[in-house]
Homo-oligomer: A and B are copies of this chain.
């Protein structure tokens, strides 16, 4: 069986004992591992020692060892005497809203199965702040911790059932989550995260025992929790940087994770600067308020025929439309703007909208799908207030991007790549985002959607042992800047509250003359909800 060259699984041959060399089994194995790893210390768990004598002899002193190393030390997280045994790892994206698991074969790096579930802590509160406050109540922390651990164990059981394996073969688990989720997962109280000077319990949780966390896996399985740089910049983003490769490139690029917050990292192999949208109104929050989460029957794409001016929609799983999600709203706003149905302030132009405009509760609504064509028999529309909210959100997004770029003294136009991460981010059509001035006017091909970069980063670390040092290097090289809502920020924000922007020279590709001819056709693509 082949073994990943830089993976965590190592074949180890141990000199058989004799009367002349009667070193104990554990010490003998440790000696062999120290030689292979060129290290002076390998932690061997008592639970590994329990089975070691039998496995050593069964395998005729040849073992496959699952090793692991955090920033402190090497440890042994599993042994096998049988070459046909599966040795697996589990990558976890510990999202505030959705938790995604991926089971990998540690020997060859192949994905075996994936599973996602809604974070059961949503029952306490959908947002992290509510949960942090709840954790301060009596048994609050224990409740939140149990919810996520039990949820993970149920998910592991599902994954194992579908992959026809036992949780016993899971030897490594890597977990990437934001700082608060990481604390709740570890059973650490996040109360000081939200109080000046915003102190965490730990920056580098490192390598822990699955057993002590209550996770069902091999009894000697290790859990690596991605480190953070502070309250607002968690392990999920460090995993995302790792996956994007931002930190390995000569050229300066940007990574934007559009989730509950907008988190932004700008940099290259020499430096990394990060900020998070906690200081201003974040994007997904603003957008999803008026829409709904992506799901079957939800409109995720809106386009228009440049000749006929007819709108065309695409729904997830191509079911009758029942609502519109964030990416659909961005598309719609772009289409409305380019066709002159909203002006540069985002206000409806009744003369152009014609029969599509309705007045409800004293507010103008643009009806995208009339009641008789929708799944649930009601108009699918967007109000003036929704458009106003979207404009504030997109302005905040662009202002954050401008602020971080100006902090390091570069122009957004200089970016070699614009990585968009996150489930929501992956659905956004860059053309639409540029049209409304949410993202900078960069050439085609500059935008790269990288999906769930947190899960991908967590998976990478299970496949390549060399990356562990890279994670530490990323953590150490990040300069986190607080987005102070000062005059400068407000000036940028005001300028960004137009479509696409007050300064049109920043968006040369966007030309709104009220003619839909300038529209690029967005062909509805069959798409599903990303797991």
Contacts and interface: CB of A to CB of B under 8 A. Distances in A.
Interface of A: 17-19, 22-27, 41, 43, 46, 49-50, 52-54, 72-73, 186-189, 191-192, 196-205, 208, 211-213, 230
A199 B24 contact: yes
A251 B512 CA distance: 99
A2 to B, nearest CB: 31
Nearest to A211: B212
Give 8 closest A-B pairs by Cβ, nearest first: A26-B202, A24-B200, A24-B203, A19-B197, A27-B203, A17-B199, A24-B202, A41-B72
Given A46-B186, A187-B46, A201 B26 contact: yes
19 contacts: A17-B197, A17-B199, A18-B197, A22-B199, A22-B230, A24-B201, A24-B203, A25-B192, A25-B201, A26-B201, A26-B203, A46-B205, A46-B212, A49-B201, A50-B188, A52-B201, A53-B201, A211-B212, A212-B212
A187 B50 contact: yes
A449 B53 CA distance: 39
A106 to B, nearest CB: 24
Contact of A208 (B46, B200, B202, B212): B46
Contacts of A22: 197-199, 230
Given A22-B198, A25-B202, 13 more contacts: A19-B196, A22-B199, A23-B203, A25-B192, A26-B200, A26-B204, A27-B202, A46-B212, A46-B213, A49-B186, A49-B201, A53-B191, A212-B212
A189 B200 CA distance: 42
A471 B26 CA distance: 19
Contacts of A197: 17-19, 22
B189 A53 contact: yes
Q: Main secondary structure on chain A at its contact with chain B?
A: loop
A200 B25 contact: yes
A191 B53 CA distance: 9
Contacts of A211: 212
A188 B191 CA distance: 41
Contacts of A25: 192, 199-202
Contacts of A43: 72
B199 A53 contact: yes
A201 B205 CA distance: 30
Contacts of A50: 187-189
Contacts of A53: 189, 191-192, 199, 201
Contacts of A186: 46, 49
Nearest to A202: B26
Interface centre among A27, A73, A191, A196 (most CB of B within 10 A): A27
A245 to B, nearest CB: 27
A189 B24 CA distance: 12
Interface centre among A41, A72, A199 (most CB of B within 10 A): A199
Contact of A27 (B17, B73, B204): B204
Nearest to A196: B19
Contacts of A196: 19
A189 B51 CA distance: 9
Contacts of A27: 202-204
Contacts of A208: 46
Nearest to A57: B192
